[in-house]
Amino acid sequence: MNALDKPQLIAQFSSYAAHVDTAILGKAYDYSIKAHGNQERASGEDYFIHCRCVATSLVEWKMDLPTICAGLLHDVIEDTPTSQETLRVEFGEEITRLVLGVTKLEHLQYSSRDDIQAENWRKMLLATAQDIRVIVIKLADRLHNMQTLGFLPADKQQRIAHETLALYAPLAHRLGMFQLKGQLEDLAFERLYPQEFKELEAKVNAMLATRELTLKKFKDAVGNSLSNTAIAHRILARSKSLYSIYGKMQRQDKPFEEIQDALGVRIITDTVSNCYALLGIVHTQFKPVAGTFTDYISIPKMNLYQSLHTTVMGPGGELVEIQIRTEEMHRTAEYGIAAHWRYKTGEHARDAHLEEKLNWLRQWIEWLQDLKSPREFLDSLKTDLELNQVFVFTPAGEVKALPAGATPLDFAFAVHTDIGQACVGAQVNNKMVKLDYQFKSGDICKIITKKGSAPKKDWLMYVKTARARSKIRHYLREKGIVA
């Protein structure tokens, strides 16, 4: 990546935060250069280049001033003699807290790599519960580490790439940072499966010319069908990442040539009502594929993502996936939570509902803290980061989004802790089911409770969510049933 020098970094920041004093940004830049001195990375480059690259990503994501300063300084406590007290005096409490949030724990007190990894994640997530920007800095740090992975020994490359695929990419996805998720996945894919990566890259490149022509024809056809409307819109072609194509090939057990929705189009408009109006026009002009319509506007994903999804038959018989969204939804889809730190002026105040939107993340982090064993913590983290969801309804029509594989016990605890603890059975679609039943989207679930009933130890085998697991373990520990 092209790291920005100090004038460029300041200029790019000022382009979206014109009224903010950038003196401290210049100071952080110079301080980081001096603190890292003659340190080098495995590539032989000055260590400070890494700090510049992290800050460059944060500016590209339009983060705020303290976050970018912390990106420049993120390794000074861990890798230089600088103390947190010194940093606090020089840069204040907010920037120091962000730097401490991404600083790794000392390794000496842990007996295994799993313990070290779990405790570092636990520490970072605790810091994230206080300030979500900690995760954003850590993701920018991991992106540049993955971009320069080739200079490390092969075993270390494999370990870091695997961790990126298992934890960092799903975390970016969970935070709605889809562009970053794709970058991290493809960088890890290249290291972990080099042969498959090369073969797929060659096939995609070979198809690109044909595909671009097909996409252009389809975009033109969509454009023509919308040209008679007064609805403001723009049309973008979308290409899937190599790893997402590879994942689909594995799941469907199909060769690349048979993957049908490698073609994608986005239609961006100005209002929610126009999203639905455009959907109606598209379905009138092109034959929709049955069972492919999903409305993530009325029921957003847990990571704030909103769009209408539909797949239609293109002019040449090809299947094309269409996503319809507003400009604001598009920004959120590209940058996720990072989109909410954009500086806005005048009538466009900063998102007043951000805290509310991020509440799920804070709750989830609190539940994870209740897991004692490092292995259980990491396994639960990986499960909860998976974003394949099912939508399950209460008898009153309220919808609960749960991870794929969730059971009635997960649903009961999602409704209320008291209902979860008193659960003795469940009806799904008016039929009694076992407590290990795995939901499908659209299921209607009624939880049957009994006064005086209590969680059982074997429930831990049936639950998928950190919330349910945490609540069950808490009860069992209080009763002395588990340690």
pLDDT value at 316 more than 80:
no
Catalytic residues: 78-79
Per-residue pLDDT at 379 exceeds 90: no
Among 300, 303, 298, 264, smallest CA distance to 387 is for 303
Is residue 338 scored above 80 in pLDDT? no
Burial class (CB in 10 A: 0-12, 13-18, 19+), 112: exposed
Distance CA 16, CA 11 (A): 9
What pLDDT, on the 0 to 100 scale, is given for residue 1?
Answer: 58
475 membership: H or E segment, kind and range? helix 466-478
> Minimal CA–CA distance to 125: which of 363, 471, 376?
363
d(CA 416, CA 17): 43
d(CA 293, CA 310): 4
Q: What is the distance of C-alpha 69 from the center of its chain?
A: 23
Q: How confident is the model over 112-118, as a mean pLDDT?
A: 71
132 or 20, which is more confident? 20
Q: Which amino acid is at 121?
A: W
Please give the torsion angle defined by the CA atoms of residues 270, 271, 272 and 274, in that order, rounded to the nearest 10 degrees. -80
pLDDT computed for residue 108 by the predictor = 44
The burial of 466, by beta-carbon neighbours within 10 Å (0-12 exposed, 13-18 middle, 19 or more buried), is given as: buried
Report the 10 Å Cβ neighbour count for 202. 10
Q: How confident is the model at residue 67 (pLDDT cuts 50, 70, 90)?
A: very high
